[in-house]
Structure 1
C-alpha cells in the first residue's frame, strides 16, 4: 500500500485551547446533569416547591457544571 505524502498542506489537529474548551464544555454538561439529579432530589426531600425549587436546582446545576467543567478543562490542559 503506497504511503500518502505529508506535503505542505497536511491536516493539523485541534490546538491546546480548543481541547481545553471542549473539556470544559463536556464537564459543564456532565456537571449540569448531575446537579439536576442530585440537587433536584435534595430540594424535593427538604420540601421545596415552586419557585424555590427551581432557583435552588438551577443554582446547584450551575455550581456543579462550573466546578466539574473547570476540573476537566485543567485536566485537558495538562494533557496538551
Structure 2
C-alpha cells in the first residue's frame, strides 16, 4: 500500500500512512507509556511531517527505511 500511496503523490495520504505505520510499531511494543507519548505528540508533528515529505525523494526514502526496519506490510498484532 505504501508504494501506491507514494506514487499517487497525495501528501495527506502519505502522512496518514506514515502515522499508521508508527502507531502499529508502537502498539507492537505493548508499552502503554510509548503509545500514550506517541498519541500526545502525533498532532504536534503533523506539520513537520508535511514539510519533511515535501522534500523531493523524502517519501520514497522513508518507505525504504520502513521496509528495512522489517515492519512494512506486516499485519497488526
TM-score range, shorter chain: 0.3 to 0.5
TM-score by length of 1: 0.36
